[in-house]
């Protein structure tokens, strides 16, 4: 049986400063604890709603800070450990908890959808090409 742990980072209060804490040192500590990292689950979410012209820019920035930058920082911190697992011939994956809005948008969910589209694109781009 393999050991599993979770590291929770609540980015709701101060997204930018909390996200800066998602660094390689934290990822290294997880890898040291378990010997290898096989799975990263990104579950960053803050929902915002409003039309582009009515939604305050600060709310759009909040959506991007949590939903996009949370995923970027998490991936950057753990990606080298996931790639190390693959080089060892072991499975590795990044799982994003997104929503339908990663695939489409509605007039009142533009900021939320944009942040989820962006998060999906970044993670899709981390896949190594076949050799």
Residue of 68, 112, 116, 122 with catalytic role: 112
What SS3 class is residue 93?
strand
Which DSSP symbol is given to 64?
I
Q: With CA atoms as reference, report the closest residue to 59 among 112, 120, 20, 113.
A: 112
- Within 10 angstroms of residue 73's Cβ, the number of other Cβ atoms is 20
| Residue 33 annotated as catalytic | no
**What amino acid positions are annotated as catalytic residues?**
112
């Amino acid at each position: 049986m393999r050991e599993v742990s979770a590291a929770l980072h609540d980015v709701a209060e101060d997204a930018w400063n909390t996200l800066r804490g998602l660094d390689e040192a934290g990822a290294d500590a997880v890898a040291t604890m378990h010997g290898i990292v096989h799975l990263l689950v990104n579950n960053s979410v803050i929902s915002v709603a409003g039309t582009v012209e009515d939604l305050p820019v600060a709310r759009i920035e909040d959506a991007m800070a949590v939903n996009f930058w949370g995923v970027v920082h998490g991936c950057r911190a753990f990606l080298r450990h996931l790639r190390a697992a693959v080089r060892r011939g072991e499975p590795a994956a990044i799982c994003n908890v997104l929503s339908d809005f990663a695939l489409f948008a509605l007039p009142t969910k533009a900021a939320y959808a944009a942040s989820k589209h962006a998060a999906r694109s970044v993670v899709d781009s981390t896949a190594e090409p076949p050799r």
